[in-house]
Amino acid sequence: MPFNQIPPAIRSVLVLEDNFLIALDMEQMLNALGVTSVHVATTKEKAMEFIAGHAIDFAILDINLGDDTSFTVADALIARGIGIGFTSGYGELLALPSHLRDVPRIDKPFSEGTLSSLIATASGPKSI
């Protein structure tokens, strides 16, 4: 897949990000990559409400949400068969639960190209 492109099937994306400026920047990047519908949730509760009533193709989850994490949202999305990718401002310092260690992750700050790669990697074919 060419640089700065995402799979054509990814048109509706949920962004769970507690920093509003980062979320807006991510929304602009996703729109530039061809995503037609971006929904931003700033808390895991808002994300869970959204996924309960809406169909999405992919989700980008900030791991650390202040005093909380996005792991329960990740589990809910995986149970629904929705691809996910993580973002983190803490790099390798943050321990992921064992069942989420293979989820692709990018560190903040990131570029449009890095975001594109995250989506392409996380939504691509899975090896057994």
Q: What pLDDT digit, counting tens, does each position of 29-42 carry? A: 999 999 999 999 99
22 falls within a domain: yes
pTM > 0.85: yes
- The structural domain count of the chain equals 1
107 falls within a domain: yes
Q: Is 64 exposed, middle or buried (0-12, 13-18, 19+ CB in 10 A)?
A: middle
7 falls within a domain: no
Show the low-confidence residues of the chain (pLDDT under 70).
1-4, 91-94, 124-128
Q: How many CB atoms lie within 10 A of CB 41?
A: 23
Dmax over CA atoms of the chain, in Å, equals: 38
